[in-house]
């Protein structure tokens, strides 16, 4: 007989307690434990389960499917997934409300269904009529695209087994519930169990599945962390509220690189991939003001030219301010200390503001040299040549260290018409051909400051 017991489960990490506590003992979150009912039953394994289990076989005897990967026709989406949609894979996509997750996945269903594959869109947050209104606006009209409004997991699994779709979209996983569980939809127990059964169904039937996940106020996908461990690919949809560009970032991918990003432009008829993103992240025309330069950054296999701006102004109040957008605050603080200690710039009484144009976030150390040059340029009121790009990592001793994939960065700069590039001297040793761009080799940060004047 099954035994029903009451447990208190943390909705942030899944930690369990036999009594209610104000603070979670696992993650330390306050007021996050919710009462749930669990059925504990211990029994022997059924005969059908023993007959259905798989036995170990040599890897050389495993047969692959004829079409293990399906190109969806959306260039940015195919690239970040590793070439296309892998049959039987589970993809988790999260993002803030209104960012465009449902819009993008509805367009994905349209492209896949136009290739002759059956797709199933399960919506738990709106009716089929509301989905049809959005589909008409996006010109998503295909007889191979099936839509159902359902939140009961048992009925969803029944629909998957009956229709045999190539692609299934669950929008969203927090709305799906399993009737056998006593807890309400969106709780840790429901999300974990529903995702587990949906992913198992994807592996057994060969239907690829997209799970839409809500995000918390901390910016992470709501529910247990095991949700991201179970999925094959985890994507985050990012974007500024007042800008039309959206960035789809990969944080986990079993079938490709985890450093890729996809850039889309939101229009009235849906999301459209941006083929040349470097042009949208740099200002149009020539830059004549001080405190602005271009840095080539790597996002996976793609080089992006980004404009970085800095403003140094005398602090009018007692404590100088340090504000950054798009870069690491601690990294900027380190560069300010290097500029003051090694170069002699008196930045202690200056308000410093650093910004990456376009709402992009840069994490790689290759942007150090560009940040340092823009701060020095703004402080000295000397503009950086507008036809120059800057690449390099800065060490604590003021030395400029080499960066990876220098050739790809220089090719992108040359393609967009830049004439000069400041690069580390160590990187110049491995360059064996002319890129049509003048290379300025440096070893120390002081040499870069001399370029500014």
Report which secondary-structure segment, H or E, holds 335: helix 329-338
For residue 23, the SS3 value is strand
Burial code (b: 16+ CB inside 10 Å, e: under 16) for 202-231 equals beebebbbbbbbbbeeeeebbbbeebbebb
For residue 102, say whether it is annotated as part of any ligand binding site: yes
For residue 95, say whether it is annotated as part of any ligand binding site: yes
Farthest CA pair distance, the chain: 83
For residue 268, the SS3 value is coil
For residue 191, the SS3 value is helix
| Size (the chain), residues | 453
Which residue from 255, 235, 284 is spatially nearest to 108, judged by alpha carbons?
235
For residue 325, say whether it is annotated as part of any ligand binding site: no
- Cα(123)–Cα(171) distance, integer angstroms: 5
State yes or no: cis peptide before 172, omega within 30 of 0: yes
- Three-state secondary structure along 163-176? HCCCEEEEECHHHC
Is beta strand 261-267 parallel, antiparallel or unpaired with respect to 350-356? unpaired
- Cα(443)–Cα(446) distance, integer angstroms: 9
Is beta strand 167-171 parallel, antiparallel or unpaired with respect to 208-213? parallel
For residue 58, say whether it is annotated as part of any ligand binding site: no
For residue 97, say whether it is annotated as part of any ligand binding site: yes
| Strand intervals (E) in 188-321 | 208-213, 233-239, 245-253, 261-267, 270-273, 292-299, 302-314
For residue 313, say whether it is annotated as part of any ligand binding site: no
- Cα(386)–Cα(281) distance, integer angstroms: 15
For residue 172, say whether it is annotated as part of any ligand binding site: no
User: Which residues does residue 147 pair with via DSSP β-bridges, in sequence order?
Assistant: 121
Which residue from 300, 284, 287 is spatially nearest to 404, judged by alpha carbons?
300
- Cα(113)–Cα(101) distance, integer angstroms: 18
For residue 96, say whether it is annotated as part of any ligand binding site: yes
Residues tagged in the binding site annotation = 95-102
Residues tagged in the binding site annotation for ATP = 95-102
């Amino acid at each position: 007989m099954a035994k029903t017991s009451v447990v208190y489960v943390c909705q942030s990490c899944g930690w369990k307690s036999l009594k209610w506590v104000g603070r979670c003992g696992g993650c330390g979150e306050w007021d996050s434990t919710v009462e749930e009912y669990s059925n504990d039953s211990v029994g022997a394994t059924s005969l059908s389960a023993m007959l259905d289990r798989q036995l170990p076989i040599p890897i050389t005897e495993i047969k692959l499917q004829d079409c293990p990967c399906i190109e969806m026709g959306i260039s940015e989406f195919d690239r970040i997934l590793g070439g296309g949609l892998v049959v039987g894979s589970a993809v988790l996509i999260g993002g803030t409300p209104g960012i465009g997750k449902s819009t993008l996945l509805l367009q994905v269903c349209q492209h896949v269904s136009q290739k002759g594959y059956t797709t199933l869109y399960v919506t738990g947050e709106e009716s089929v009529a509301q989905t049809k209104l959005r589909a008409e606006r996006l010109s998503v009209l295909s007889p191979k695209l099936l839509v159902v409004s359902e939140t009961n997991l048992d009925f969803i699994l029944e629909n998957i087994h009956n229709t045999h779709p190539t692609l299934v979209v669950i929008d969203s996983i927090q709305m799906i519930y399993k009737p056998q569980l006593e807890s309400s939809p969106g709780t840790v127990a429901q999300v974990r169990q529903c995702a587990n059964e949906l992913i198992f169904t994807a592996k057994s039937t060969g239907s690829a599945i997209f799970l839409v996940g809500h995000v918390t106020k901390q910016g992470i996908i709501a529910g247990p962390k095991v949700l991201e461990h179970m999925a094959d690919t985890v994507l985050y949809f990012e974007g500024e509220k007042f800008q039309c560009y959206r960035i789809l970032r990969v944080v986990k991918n079993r079938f490709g690189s985890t450093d890729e990003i996809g850039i889309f432009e939101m229009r009235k008829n849906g999301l459209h991939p941006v083929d040349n993103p470097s042009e949208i992240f740099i200002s149009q025309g020539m830059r004549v003001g001080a405190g602005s330069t271009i840095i080539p950054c790597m996002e996976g296999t793609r080089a992006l030219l980004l404009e970085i701006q800095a403003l140094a102004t005398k602090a009018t109040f007692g404590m100088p301010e340090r504000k950054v957008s798009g870069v690491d605050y601690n990294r900027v603080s380190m560069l300010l200390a290097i500029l003051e200690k090694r170069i002699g710039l008196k930045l202690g009484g200056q308000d410093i503001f650093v910004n990456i144009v376009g709402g992009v976030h840069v994490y790689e150390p290759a942007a150090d040299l560009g940040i340092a040059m823009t701060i020095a340029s703004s402080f000295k009121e000397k503009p950086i040549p507008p036809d120059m790009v800057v690449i390099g990592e800065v060490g604590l001793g003021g030395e400029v260290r080499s960066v990876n994939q220098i050739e790809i960065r220089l090719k992108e700069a040359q393609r967009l018409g830049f004439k000069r590039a400041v690069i580390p001297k160590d990187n110049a040793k491995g360059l064996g051909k002319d890129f049509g761009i003048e290379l300025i080799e440096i070893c120390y940060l002081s040499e870069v400051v001399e370029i500014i004047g």
